[in-house]
């Protein structure tokens, strides 16, 4: 009999989480937001030194990694290792147009080592989306 997996646990790559929200903005605006210095600082870590080009490494005050895939207006894929983690995880950020002024921003993270890390990251990504929503409501981005 197979071992029963926990929610978010994959067969081969540890734990994963996906969080998404749809906003009343264009796909171009969504991409502009998630790749802005303000939001890179928020989700990657403060003072990001990052060039959004494949095979480039980046460092922030709290994390490091490597950009793997950049599809402008659609997808970023990168490794992300917090300074207190032993192993990197993989993050995908997507912007998906639902309509001309309706776009979903999605954060998907995999290769996390535990259920506890997954739960912490679920809260982390929801807070990022809450911050985007609050900024949009206040028009401060």
Task: For residue 126, tell me if it sits in a domain.
Answer: yes
Looking at the structure of the chain, the number of domains it has is 1
Task: For residue 35, tell me if it sits in a domain.
Answer: yes
What's the rounded mean pLDDT across residues 109-121? 93
Report CA torsion sign: 39, 107, 123, 116. Answer: negative
Domain CATH number, residue 112? 3.30.530.20
- Whether the predicted pLDDT of 103 surpasses 90: yes
Task: For residue 25, tell me if it sits in a domain.
Answer: yes
Task: For residue 7, tell me if it sits in a domain.
Answer: no
What's the rounded mean pLDDT across residues 13-18? 86
Q: Which residue has the higher pLDDT, 7 or 41?
A: 41
Rounded to whole angstroms, the Cα distance separating 26 from 73 reads 10
Task: For residue 99, tell me if it sits in a domain.
Answer: yes
What's the confidence (pLDDT) of residue 1?
A: 38
Task: For residue 52, tell me if it sits in a domain.
Answer: yes
What's the confidence (pLDDT) of residue 49?
A: 87
What's the rounded mean pLDDT across residues 103-128? 95
- Provide the domain limits for residue 19: 15-138
Task: For residue 10, tell me if it sits in a domain.
Answer: no
pTM greater than 0.85 (yes/no): yes
Task: For residue 4, tell me if it sits in a domain.
Answer: no
Neighbours of 1 (CB within 10 A): 3
Q: Which residue has the higher pLDDT, 2 or 25?
A: 25
Q: Which among 90, 70, 87 is positioned nearest to 10, based on CA atoms?
A: 90
């Amino acid at each position: 009999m197979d071992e029963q997996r926990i929610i978010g646990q994959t067969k081969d790559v540890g734990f994963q989480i996906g969080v998404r929200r749809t906003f009343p903005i264009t796909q171009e605006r969504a991409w502009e937001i998630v790749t802005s210095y303000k939001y890179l600082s928020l989700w990657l870590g403060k003072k990001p030194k990052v060039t959004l080009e494949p095979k480039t490494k980046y460092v922030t005050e709290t994390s490091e990694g490597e950009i793997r895939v950049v599809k402008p207006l659609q997808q970023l894929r990168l490794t992300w290792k917090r300074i207190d983690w032993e192993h990197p995880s993989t993050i995908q950020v997507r912007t998906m147009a639902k309509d001309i002024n309706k776009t979903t921003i999605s954060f998907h993270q995999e290769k996390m080592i535990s259920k506890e890390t997954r739960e912490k990251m679920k809260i982390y990504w929801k807070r990022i989306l809450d911050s985007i929503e609050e900024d949009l409501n206040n028009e401060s981005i």
